[in-house]
Amino acid sequence: MHKRRIITLAIAILALVLGILYALYQGGNSNNNSALPNQQGGNNSSMLPNAPPKVDPIAEQLKTMSLEEKVGQLVIVGTDGYEINENTQRLIQTYHVGGFILFQKNIRDTQQMLDLVNSLKKTNAINETPLFLALDEEGGRVSRMPADLQKMPTSQKVGKQNNPDLANRVGEILGQELKAFGMNVDFAPVLDIFSNPQNTVIGDRAFGSTSELVSELGIQTMQGIQAQSIIPVVKHFPGHGDTTVDSHVGLPKVEYDLERLKNFELIPFSNAIAQDADAIMLAHILIPQLDPDYPASFSKTLITDILRDDMGFEGVVITDDMTMGAILENYEIGQAAVKSLQAGSDIVLVCHDFAKEEAVLQAILTAARTGEISTGKIDKSVYRVLALKKKYALSNQSVESVDVQKINAKIAKLYEDYPALK
């Protein structure tokens, strides 16, 4: 009897030991599995003690850039003539500018335009960051394409068709035109609502007079441009449709309050942001009820408080041309550029006059060196610029030739399918 108890006790102890060993074995396997993210149930990579930290290539590039290189990325400039000159080379090699915009004064014919674009890229090969190469290509009267390409219809004519598929197709062709020349930024579409018949600066550049129509067709055009790997820049925030003064000549003023803007002018921009707008252009418009001192292009209230914070836009914010009369007749251009960056913009556009372009670059550099523009602000804006260039895979690669007939055939088919666009 005593012997049987001893045997029973021994079996119980053995079972207990085996149970403990089994539990330890299972626990060890569970820990191993959780540390292997590629095995079933193992998706917690934080358990890996030796996992390499995730590298942000844009942040790494920022660390290697000089202050001059960073400041250059915050400015897009124009150039004179049909070929690059000493001033153009200086803007690229000394100031490391972020990009160029071309105008009709830069375009004689298809081959010359292609040669100019390719030479800008070749000259920029000394810089790690490729250039933004931009045009105002809206269709209608705002077009920079050579004369041997057919003209695209105005946004107003597109708007009268009230057809989202048509608007998307128009955007695709606009994008294809730029892509054919190796360009990468289109300052379009216009999201201004044409609510004032006396407004000649917008006029037929707008899709229509209601926020719904402008939103739908503007966004479709934006997406058509994006589909061709071209960056669309929607404009002119917070809305240029109800002005009578042309900002190329003077400073327009509108007596709106915030409620009016939110219920009308801002609707297309808000909808575009919700549909992943990449970049927004600021208008030179003074809205005294919101900011009595500064136009939208360098108003902290409009850029940071409304566009960034209230509307949640995290993309690239760029000014309209700082050499327009709205600025030159009322402000010193260098300080206006500094003020714009301080207020929340990322890129200052300076389209004409090398002396003014250099003045802007020098003013921003000085402000950055003295801390008038903080290092954090500079880095945040440069990060946005580099991220956008990376998203669209910008490069300095040349384009060999342009198939004009192919583009014209697509435009001709557009008019054939929609005769009312003529």
Catalytic residues: 248, 320
Q: Indicate the SS3 state at residue 65.
A: coil
Angstrom distance (rounded) from CA 8 to CA 66: 81
Q: Do the Cβ atoms of 58 and 380 come closer than 8 Å?
A: no
Q: What's the DSSP call for residue 150?
A: P
Q: What's the DSSP call for residue 50?
A: T
Neighbours of 41 (CB within 10 A): 10
Q: Indicate the SS3 state at residue 136.
A: coil
The first and second tokens of residue 160, run together, are 């009268």
The first and second tokens of residue 404, run together, are 């004009």
* Ordered DSSP codes for 10-30: HHHHHHHHHHHHHHHHHHHHH
Range 59-76 burial, b when 16+ CB lie within 10 A, else e: eebbeebeeebbbbbbbb
Q: Do the Cβ atoms of 414 and 169 come closer than 8 Å?
A: yes
Neighbours of 104 (CB within 10 A): 12
| Class of residue 86 by CB neighbours under 10 A (exposed 0-12, middle 13-18, buried 19+) | exposed
Angstrom distance (rounded) from CA 159 to CA 190: 12
Look at the alpha carbons of 313, 318, 322, 324 in this order and tell me if their dihedral is positive or negative: negative
Q: Per this entry, what is the length of the chain?
A: 422
